[in-house]
Structure 1
């Protein structure tokens, strides 16, 4: 890890990092990352999306991606005109930060997709997970659909079977973190996962994207992560060796180094800056 004195976060384009959890998770999953980043001088906000973590909303009643990510968009809306953040999205959080990038491109300095759904225009997270379900028996066995409105209606949420959690998500994580997850995870709302994103070059495409791969990931395997990077190349790809789908548990120091490295990438040189010298 970088010694604290080697990094002055006040010299960075922004020292504000917003952590966006994946499906079923909540702000609680980032506890190690929050501590490490704050110790390095960053200002960190980990959000609970609607019906996640301690957000007290019924997951089965979430009908859209807009509703699901309202806590994130409200936060971005509250930022000052000159404030920018680095968005970090994990898992389904990748689709969530993509939506936010489309809405608030001027408020996002960089976007980090952490073993996340990095989708193209017109695609949904379900499209990506369907590829995985077709080839992965673990994922198929692990998910349980919830039919809150009756079996004759579409599913309203997805539960991950507790007995499958370790194999699917936490195969390299410490036991105490698996225990934390087993009592903290909540159902994943189904409607947002189905929703196809509208992403434009002018908005979403104007934000600098970075991807962080996880090599021992059973939920979104490396080949699927690489496929997303190939079809929509980010500015840079970093790799966390030995990490499962929860790098904030299994490789917290390596994840911290990756996030600091991305934060330290300087902003693009503005062509007009040379003409702004004082007289």
Structure 2
């Protein structure tokens, strides 16, 4: 396992390298829209790119309160990969990228479709050890207590457990976009949607070394992250060491504040792993 300083290691991107298919998975509260800069840059290079809206996120018609499990929340990604499995182009061509909570989606996808995924890229994301149930690692999915106390929970009809939650827009700037231009923070404030709380309470996946363990993992650490602090990222990395660690001097949303460097990094990763 090696750690790379992206300020020093990033070279030019490689337009025309078109082997990989980038599949981008957003984190909590966000949608496919958060990748708009990355999609634009990759497509200009000639790459195939798909940004997924998970259930109740982005333009998906479902509401967060209607989602009963992480499996239901994650179904659009699994449906997409199942379709790819049936397509003419076979082989591990997919560069699967997950941001923040999107790392959980990568665990499900890696267990179900390891033969399709050339590399799983975790962008300041939850990354779990293979060979055990995600239920045992739920504590790593929850933010710090001081952040939880600031979330807005929906508990319809006096229910004990919330069915969804969101973060007040005035706090999003501090935790998600502390180094992001105000125009992108404003865009986000208009597009974020609640996250289905049952997606955390109800999940049923046991990863195996024979499937999840086959997929190479690359971690991109955000060193100025206030939502998912570097110390917590390092703890997750230590529990489940990836093949390579890259470091960006970024807040929690490098797809906004460091889009060019993140794009170049994705291209370099594809060159290395997509054969």
Same fold (TM over 0.5): yes
Q: How many pairs align?
A: 258
Find the counterpart in structure 2 of residue 197 from structure 1. 205
Q: Return closer, same or farther for 1:266/1:144 CA change in 2, 3 Å cut-off.
A: closer
> What is the correspondence of 1:239-258 to structure 2 with a 5 Å cutoff?
239-241=247-249, 243-258=250-265
Deviation of residue 142 (structure 1)? 3.0
Find the counterpart in structure 2 of residue 78 from structure 1. 83
| Distance (whole Å) between structure 2 residues aligned to residue 200 and residue 190 of structure 1 | 26
Find the counterpart in structure 2 of residue 128 from structure 1. 140
Q: Does the CA contact (< 8 Å) of 1:171 and 1:244 recur in 2?
A: yes
Find the counterpart in structure 1 of residue 160 from structure 2. 153
**What's the secondary structure of 1:69's corresponding residue?**
helix
**What's the secondary structure of 1:211's corresponding residue?**
strand
> What is the correspondence of 1:12-23 to structure 2 with a 5 Å cutoff?
14-23=19-28
Structure 1 regions of 5+ residues with no counterpart? 269-279
TM norm structure 1: 0.87
Structure 2 regions of 5+ residues with no counterpart? 1-9
What's the CA shift string for 1:251-279, capped at 9, x where partnerless? 111111211121111468xxxxxxxxxxx
**What's the secondary structure of 2:134's corresponding residue?**
coil
Find the counterpart in structure 1 of residue 31 from structure 2. 26
- Which among 216, 222, 226 is matched to residue 218 of structure 1? 226
Find the counterpart in structure 2 of residue 272 from structure 1. none
Deviation of residue 153 (structure 1)? 3.0
Q: Does the CA contact (< 8 Å) of 1:142 and 1:165 recur in 2?
A: no
- Which among 100, 107, 114 is matched to residue 116 of structure 2? 107
| Distance (whole Å) between structure 2 residues aligned to residue 184 and residue 18 of structure 1 | 21
| Distance (whole Å) between structure 1 residues aligned to residue 48 and residue 274 of structure 2 | 19
| Distance (whole Å) between structure 2 residues aligned to residue 104 and residue 19 of structure 1 | 16
Higher Rg of the two aligned structures: 1
| Distance (whole Å) between structure 2 residues aligned to residue 196 and residue 216 of structure 1 | 32
TM norm structure 2: 0.88
Q: Does the CA contact (< 8 Å) of 2:101 and 2:141 recur in 1?
A: no
Kindly report the root-mean-square deviation, in angstroms, between the aligned alpha carbons of the 2 structures: 1.8
| Distance (whole Å) between structure 2 residues aligned to residue 237 and residue 65 of structure 1 | 27
- Which among 59, 68, 72 is matched to residue 67 of structure 1? 72
What's the CA shift string for 1:21-52, capped at 9, x where partnerless? 00110000000000111112210000100000
Find the counterpart in structure 2 of residue 237 from structure 1. 245
Task: Check if 1:142 corresponds to 2:153.
Answer: no
